[in-house]
Amino acid sequence: MPIDPVVLFFLLGLGARLARSDLRLPEPVYETLSIYLLLAIGLKGGAELARQSAGEIVPMALTAIALSAVIPLILYPALRRCCRLARADAASIAAHYGSVSVVTFAVAQSTIARSGLQAEPQLAVLVALMEAPGIIVGIALAKLDDIRNVRWGKLAHETLFGKAVYLLLGGIAIGALIGPEGLEPMKPLFGDLFKGVLALFLLEMGLVAGSRLPDLRRAGLALVAFGIIAPLFLAAIGLAAGLALGLSTGGIAIFATLCASASYIAAPTAMRIAVPEANPALSIGVALAVTFPFNVTIGIPLYLATARWFG
């Protein structure tokens, strides 16, 4: 299958940084694009959800929350031993992978749609549910000695009311309330323009990933290898869980992508505040400059092919 056009925009941004172009998206533009994407994904998922019965989502939601919490526990020892990282750094990186990437999800959705497959609309809800548990477990891992002094209330507030989770859940709630008919008048903005906005956002992601490449030199080869092996391993877990849940082929591929993705909106900010001793260059470097490009170029088509093979 030919590469998804939005991925080409990512490569365009990456190329700009590598060629030292002066291309730069103003911060308010990036901020606007990210608000748009979160709302549009939430609204679309919520409107579709209005057609489903509420009970159907419970097993999926519980699996998603459990996986998001368990993934950091699996990755942490590997990061400590194989990558020889300090506790705070290993915990912070593990948290990034426990949490999920909204844009990787959007690219997976777009790839699934292009191949003519359907996926369960509930998956949008899972994106919101999988943001926080991984972050909380990651912070607990970093602060094992000092767990009593963690301000969990403040932390829960930061993750739940951070823009990523708040806008996603808000969009889902509005979408579910108004249903597909209610969403119809907003479709020119939140539906038709989606792919174009996603392309612009990926251009920005390419720029940021490009500027993170020097961090990788400091991170070392073991961590770069981790950035490729971890998503493959996590996608396998996601595929197995998707099969066990009886999801459609498209749904399995998206669920695998969610498990394989690493957060770079909610997790970096939360970890920076809660675990300041962790070096953010390492976690963002591996999540954004290795795993994200890997997932959107090779990972997603591979997860889809595997889901098809099983389906």
For residue 24, state whether it binds another protein (rule: CB under 8 A).
yes
Rank residues 17 and 44 by Cβ distance to another protein and give the closer one: 17
Binding to another protein by CB under 8 A, coded x per residue (else -) over 196-215, reads --------x--xx--x--x-
User: Buried b / exposed e across 19-33, counting CB within 10 Å, b at 16+?
Assistant: eeeeeebeeeebeeb
For residue 12, state whether it binds another protein (rule: CB under 8 A).
no
Two tokens at 67?
Answer: 């996986």
User: Do the Cβ atoms of 33 and 204 come closer than 8 Å?
Assistant: yes
**What residues between 252 and 311 interact with another protein by CB under 8 A?**
264-265, 268-269, 272-273, 276-277, 280, 284, 288
**What residues between 143 and 162 interact with another protein by CB under 8 A?**
none
Q: CB of 284: closest distance to another protein in angstroms?
A: 6
For another protein, how many residues bind (rule: CB under 8 A)?
20
Distances (CA, A) of 287 to 117, 133, 167, 224, 231: 28, 17, 22, 10, 10
Cβ neighbour number for residue 274 with a 10 Å cutoff:
25
Q: What is the DSSP string of 192-244?
A: ITHHHHHHHHHHHHHHHHHHHHHHHHHH-HHHHHHHHHHHHHHHHHHHHHHHH
Candidates 25-33, 96-104, 219-227, 235-243; binding stretch for another protein (CB under 8 A): 25-33
Q: CB of 89: closest distance to another protein in angstroms?
A: 12
List residues binding another protein (CB under 8 A): 24-25, 27, 30, 204, 207-208, 211, 214, 264-265, 268-269, 272-273, 276-277, 280, 284, 288
